[in-house]
Amino acid sequence: MALTKFNFNSFDVTTAASKGLAFNSSANGFETSSSTSMVLIKTLTASSSANLSFVHGSSDVVLDSTYPIYVFKFINCHPANDGQQLYMSGSVNSGSNYEATSKTTTCFRAYHTEGGSSGTLAYYTGGDLANSTDSQFLSVEASNENDHGVSGTFTLFNPSSTTFVKHFISSSNSIYNDSSDFSMNFYVAGYFNTTSAINGIRFRFNTGNMDVGTIKLYGIKDS
């Protein structure tokens, strides 16, 4: 049986670095594909910022029916003040008001200290909301030590729907400093109780600025 010879000379490795790979139509080489499931839309970087906000139509932000799922990845968000929680809120009026849309949520948390103590995963009544317009916190109290911060994800489903409420899920890890450093894991699930389109999402600490940190917004295509 004859072996097929691949044509590597026609393969652009620079372009392929950010795209998918597939066999070409002749099955004798590779070609790149622009269709990836997760598409980076916008990156915001904090610099002593009061908040980081993503508003549809502002600064190339897309938050509409283009994608059915949106994922926000927050990376090393560092509070200026000690013991801060990372908060999220949504807007139905392009960022004019982030405290008008009610939310209902459930929260769980678990921890493990550098000294070896741990807490089991348990429901956290101090973090849930019941049809409340308050902001939802996505992490427990984060330390402001130089090498600490909050990292995690916030996933929003079908924000442009005018038929259904808007479900979301979040998970985060932060370092809480007490008598020992804690690895604090925090999980939130819930929904914006509105059939209006959510077209703005804001992240902030409960008090003080976000010294540094990055939040990336991705859109996920239909499979």
- Confidence (pTM): 0.83
Q: Degrees (nearest 5) of the Cα angle 35, 39, 44?
A: 160
Q: What pLDDT score does 168 carry?
A: 98
Average pLDDT, rounded, for the chain: 87
Which has the higher per-residue pLDDT, 43 or 10? 43
Residue range 154-175: average pLDDT?
96
Instruction: Judge whether residue 34 has pLDDT over 60.
Output: no
Q: Which amino acid is at 211?
A: D
Domains of the chain: 38-220 (2.60.120)
User: Percent of the chain at pLDDT above 70?
Assistant: 82
pLDDT in tens, 2-21: 555 545 455 454 444 445 55
Q: Which residues, other chains included, contact 181 with Cβ-Cβ below 8 Å and sequence gap of 6+?
A: 113, 114, 143, 175
φ/ψ bin of 66: left (φ > 0), alpha (ψ from -120 to 50), beta (otherwise): alpha
pLDDT in tens, 87-105: 999 999 999 999 889 999 9
Residue range 40-60: average pLDDT?
97
User: Which is nearest to 76 in space by CA: 162, 146, 164?
Assistant: 146
Instruction: Judge whether residue 178 has pLDDT over 70.
Output: no
CA 149 to chain centre: 15
CB 220 within 8 A of CB 38: yes
